[in-house]
Structure 1
Amino acid sequence: MPASSSSPSNVTVISKCTVFPDQKSSMEDLKLSVSDLPMLSCHYIQKGVLFTRPSIPIDFIISLLKHALSRTLSLFPPLAGRLTTDHHGYVYITCNDAGADFIHAVGPTLHIRDILSPIHVPESAKSFFSLDRTVSYDGHFKPILLVQVTDLVDGLFIGCSVNHAVSDGTSFWNFFNTFSEVCRNGTRRITKSPDFKRESVLISSAVLKIPEGGPKVTFNADAPIKERIFSFSRESIQRLKAKANGGKWVDFDCAIPVAELMGKINNNNDKTWVRNSSLDSSDISSFQALCAVLWRAVTRARKFPSEKMTTFRMAVNYRQRLEPKMDPYYFGNAIQSIPTYATAGDVMSRDLRWCAEQLNKNVLAHGDATVRKFVADWERDPRCFPLGNFDGAMMTMGSSPRFPMYENDFGWGKPLAVRSGRANKFDGKISAFPGRVGGGSVDLEVVLAPETMSCLESDQEFMQYITAAH
């Protein structure tokens, strides 16, 4: 149905409709797991990508995307369904082909250069997403997925809002990249098929008690925050990792025999650094080193007394940590939040390596037994995930630089940038993206209280690793 609405961001909605799967679903109801249910109090995931404006007419693009979405929904039936709660209190995804919403919007004064702002993401980018502040529990009566296509002066932004109780980041990007693959190839034959089985320890008989009126987010969504994307080049991250490992950078032109070097590489996902001529699981990863330098800088910026306890949380995908291993493309939430605690005095007075080692130890310890302990703890006390910064000293790292955010092509080339909406943002919320220049670079989307952000931006230890925007 046609619509016309505008906002101070100068983004205007041209049309809105419901897109239905092009094939009827035969999938049974999918029970929400112990990793899905806690997300009922979280906002919908809001992520999307920016493209150079294709030369083909926008009406044709919109028609093409709707057709591709219809086909893709047949491959991802939960995204065209709705949530339902039975009389026992169990919550399910009913794959009832109710459809996903599709919005066509236009930003007639917005350019690519505005979205690629070298410092702070413009507020107008938040208008590339719909279902703002929608809590995932609302999937009982709202679409589980909404796609918004925003036509810019010289660009195109495709943004998705997805129910967080239905999907985590791994599932989200598998859907998004499949959507692009179907659009580009015009076929349902896809390379990474989702797995919808509900057969693991995650499927529980425990019942989550829902408060009257439904769950609410556990943070103040109106608190003042400032957001910035900090870019780290491969070289900057290499320097950080070397410092955290107390070792040296191995140049691939150095004198280490190729066979020996490749043996080390094959046993380590991070292929750049060697400590004491060996790589093992105790080595600090690039990402842990990056988290450690941010933990130190934000703690300094918050100006805590030395005895104040700080917390750094990292989201861990446990699909391959659980035994037996889950399918890598299991569709749903398979993440747990690992907290690492340290006093402000320790974080600031100890070196980068010490901070990174605390994170490293917790990540290494998070195996099958730890995952199962998390599940058992939740079953004893079913609850929604307490997302937020409750004592002013917390940081929460989400998303991942390993997500294939730039590995999508709808038929007009690769993305220029990844951006997110207003969802689940509070003082201390960090999201990691692969860098838009590739090659092992990383972008951190950092959300902080305004005064903390100002201090971070003048922190010499942190800012020396930041790469100037291209």
Structure 2
Amino acid sequence: MAYTHMVLENCQVSPPQGSLPTASLPLTFFDIPWLGDLHVKRLYFYEFPHPTHHFTQTILPTLKNSLSLTLHHFFPLVGNLMCPPPPTKPYILYNNGDSIPLTIAECTINFNHFISNHPRDIIEFDQLVPKLPPIHISNETFVIPLLALQVTILPNSGICIGITYRHVVDGLTSIHFMKLWASIFSGKTCLEKFLPHYDRDVIKDTNGVEAVLLDEYFRMRSSWKDFILGNTNALSIDHVQAKFVLNRSQIEMLKKWIFSQCKNIDNGSSLPKHLSRFVVTCAFTWVCFIKAQDKIGALNSSDVDEVHYFVFPADCRDRLEYPVPKTYFGNCLALCVSEAKKSELVATNGVAVAATAIDKAISKLQSGPLKGAERWISDLMNLLKLGRMCTVTGSPSLGFYETDFGWGSPKKVEMVNQQTKNISLSECGDEKGGVEVGLMQTKSAMDTFSSIFEQSLNFLN
């Protein structure tokens, strides 16, 4: 698709001058597994049927000012993640005068092309994604910028607001940042429910998890120089991104089908206890993914008993023995791992098997969310080495489509996937109760997955 992309302005935005002193923020054991070059890319598309000059003259000044005010509240994101050599713990440092990059651009790709669900070249999304400043080393300390933003005008049709952030915060914190910015820009008064809570004392390390995770982190850090500083994140022109939607009625249909299948497994003793839309969507997508990978020859065809893993994060703010505010700033995620044999997943009742496996992981989480937390890093590294892992980012309960700058709800929210074995989830923007599933694959692999996804849904009818 022929199009033009032009940067109109590169600027730096900081909290209001002199409003904040230099400050540091310690990390907790919840943050340690996510340190390094892990970052998230998300795009919000809004209808805006006006020319570029209207945006730059009437909207942009207010957008910058409201961003400055938002950064005053979320000041750690303006700073850097400081990762000194051992034994010093990593921390976030904000220096008075720090700023984040804001890029203003124009793109001539059709707005409807971006907000559709069909496969689109990943390189097109890359034009809209803000680029983080480079990591550098100072006195043997890795200095890692945390946040970058970009606003792209699609003339006479729409606006895309892109955010890239390091994983020093989880999805809920990042969404609170975006919603606070939207609220300040649009003049809404409901700011309190998005203001970040910084008190680290609310997180209790009662089991000594931090010391173990820090040891793992320091071992990984020893290889950062070659890995992080040499990482170009090159994109393949053969990769596309697409979205797949399960509407409310399809999810209910899947629930009924899973229950009926589970009754035939172990005489009904395997009935899932947590058959939410998250579980149903994950189970269905996992099975479609395994079948697609098997069909294109990406799996070991000679070992049907090979175990595959489905890994997802779970918010712990409401799951710990002590209260953690909903607006707690940082990471508060547990790592959940589900497993099933390939032969079970590709069988006729594979979705029920997958749902039962995911339900089992959730049950373990509820009985003890921090059980095994000292192994989060080592477990993840071992699964990465095996190469038989599918991961999840996002959740249909986070409320991405509630981010309103005054232009209405986003027409589309895209998580720009960076791995072919990762799926992203959000609530459905068009229908309450539905779920959107995002996926990045090669063009041929995406065609295979799409075909299996549709056939599997038709099979249930």
- Say which is worse superposed, 97-106 or 39-48, in terms of deviation: 39-48
Residue 126 of structure 2 aligns with an amino acid whose one-letter code is K
- Alignment partners' CA distance in 2, 1:365 and 1:137: 40
Q: Which residue of structure 2 lines up, in the alignment, with residue 25 of structure 1? A: 20
- Alignment partners' CA distance in 1, 2:128 and 2:251: 31
Q: Which residue of structure 1 lines up, in the alignment, with residue 159 of structure 2? A: 156
Among 284, 292, 303, the alignment partner of 2:283 is: 292
Among 349, 363, 375, the alignment partner of 1:377 is: 375
Alignment of 1:62-77 (within 5 A): 62-77=60-75
Which secondary structure does the structure 1 equivalent of 2:124 belong to?
Answer: helix
Equivalent residues of 2:45, 2:410 under 8 A apart: yes
- Alignment partners' CA distance in 2, 1:150 and 1:81: 24
- Alignment partners' CA distance in 1, 2:90 and 2:227: 17
- Alignment partners' CA distance in 2, 1:324 and 1:281: 27
Alignment of 1:413-452 (within 5 A): 413-421=408-416, 425-452=418-445
1:254-283 Cα shifts (integer Å, max 9, x gaps): xxxxxxxxxxxxxxxxxxxxxxxxxx9814
- Alignment partners' CA distance in 1, 2:358 and 2:135: 30
1:83-108 Cα shifts (integer Å, max 9, x gaps): 2245632111112241211111111x
- Say which is worse superposed, 335-344 or 179-188, in terms of deviation: 179-188
Which secondary structure does the structure 2 equivalent of 1:49 belong to?
Answer: strand
1:55-84 Cα shifts (integer Å, max 9, x gaps): 554332111111001000111111111222
Q: What percent of counterpart residues are identical?
A: 22
Among 159, 168, 171, the alignment partner of 2:170 is: 168
1:20-42 Cα shifts (integer Å, max 9, x gaps): 10162257421122232222234
The change in CA–CA distance for 1:67 and 1:452 in structure 2 (over 3 A counts) is same
Equivalent residues of 2:395, 2:424 under 8 A apart: yes
Equivalent residues of 1:99, 1:143 under 8 A apart: no
Among 81, 96, 120, the alignment partner of 1:83 is: 81
- Alignment partners' CA distance in 2, 1:419 and 1:20: 26
1:218-267 Cα shifts (integer Å, max 9, x gaps): 999667644211112111111112212239xxxxxxxxxxxxxxxxxxxx
- Alignment partners' CA distance in 2, 1:388 and 1:158: 34
Alignment of 1:333-412 (within 5 A): 333-349=331-347, 351=349, 352-367=351-366, 369-374=368-373, 376-377=374-375, 386=381, 390-412=385-407
What runs of 5+ residues in structure 1 fail to find an aligned partner? 1-7, 248-279
Equivalent residues of 1:314, 1:337 under 8 A apart: yes
Spell out structure 1 runs of 4+ moving beyond 6 A. 132-139, 217-221
1:311-341 Cα shifts (integer Å, max 9, x gaps): 1112211111121131111111111321111
Residue 165 of structure 2 aligns with an amino acid whose one-letter code is V
1:141-168 Cα shifts (integer Å, max 9, x gaps): 454211100011211111111121x211
Query: Does 1:331 pair with 2:324?
Result: no
TM-score (norm 1): 0.80
Q: Which residue of structure 2 lines up, in the alignment, with residue 191 of structure 1? A: 193
Instruction: Tell me how far 1:184 sits from its aligned partner.
Output: 0.7
- Alignment partners' CA distance in 1, 2:362 and 2:314: 8
- Say which is worse superposed, 359-368 or 200-209, in terms of deviation: 200-209
- Alignment partners' CA distance in 1, 2:379 and 2:132: 20
The change in CA–CA distance for 1:289 and 1:384 in structure 2 (over 3 A counts) is closer
- Alignment partners' CA distance in 2, 1:363 and 1:215: 37
Query: Does 1:13 pair with 2:13?
Result: no
Equivalent residues of 1:49, 1:417 under 8 A apart: yes
Among 200, 210, 219, the alignment partner of 1:204 is: 210
Among 308, 311, 332, the alignment partner of 2:309 is: 311
Which secondary structure does the structure 1 equivalent of 2:241 belong to?
Answer: strand
- Alignment partners' CA distance in 2, 1:346 and 1:140: 45
Alignment of 1:455-470 (within 5 A): 455-459=448-452, 460-464=454-458
Residue 175 of structure 1 aligns with an amino acid whose one-letter code is F
Which secondary structure does the structure 1 equivalent of 2:448 belong to?
Answer: helix
- Alignment partners' CA distance in 1, 2:76 and 2:360: 36
Instruction: Tell me how far 1:118 sits from its aligned partner.
Output: 3.6
Equivalent residues of 2:3, 2:109 under 8 A apart: no
Instruction: Tell me how far 1:368 sits from its aligned partner.
Output: 6.4
What RMSD, in angstroms, separates the aligned Cα atoms of the two structures? Answer: 3.3
Which secondary structure does the structure 2 equivalent of 1:458 belong to?
Answer: helix
Q: Which residue of structure 1 lines up, in the alignment, with residue 264 of structure 2? A: none
Among 236, 244, 262, the alignment partner of 1:230 is: 244
- Say which is worse superposed, 325-334 or 301-310, in terms of deviation: 301-310
Residue 426 of structure 1 aligns with an amino acid whose one-letter code is Q
- Alignment partners' CA distance in 1, 2:416 and 2:183: 24
Residue 310 of structure 2 aligns with an amino acid whose one-letter code is F
What runs of 5+ residues in structure 2 fail to find an aligned partner? 262-270
Which secondary structure does the structure 2 equivalent of 1:195 belong to?
Answer: coil
Residue 76 of structure 1 aligns with an amino acid whose one-letter code is F
TM-score (norm 2): 0.81
Which secondary structure does the structure 1 equivalent of 2:372 belong to?
Answer: helix
Residue 363 of structure 2 aligns with an amino acid whose one-letter code is L
Equivalent residues of 1:150, 1:156 under 8 A apart: yes
Which secondary structure does the structure 1 equivalent of 2:227 belong to?
Answer: coil
Equivalent residues of 1:456, 1:462 under 8 A apart: no
- Alignment partners' CA distance in 2, 1:137 and 1:176: 30
- Alignment partners' CA distance in 1, 2:115 and 2:459: 20
Instruction: Tell me how far 1:448 sits from its aligned partner.
Output: 3.4
Instruction: Tell me how far 1:385 sits from its aligned partner.
Output: 5.8
Query: Does 1:101 pair with 2:101?
Result: yes
Query: Does 1:245 pair with 2:247?
Result: no
Instruction: Tell me how far 1:429 sits from its aligned partner.
Output: 0.6
- Alignment partners' CA distance in 1, 2:254 and 2:232: 32
Residue 204 of structure 1 aligns with an amino acid whose one-letter code is E
The change in CA–CA distance for 1:363 and 1:189 in structure 2 (over 3 A counts) is closer
Which secondary structure does the structure 2 equivalent of 1:196 belong to?
Answer: coil
- Alignment partners' CA distance in 2, 1:465 and 1:18: 53
Instruction: Tell me how far 1:463 sits from its aligned partner.
Output: 4.8
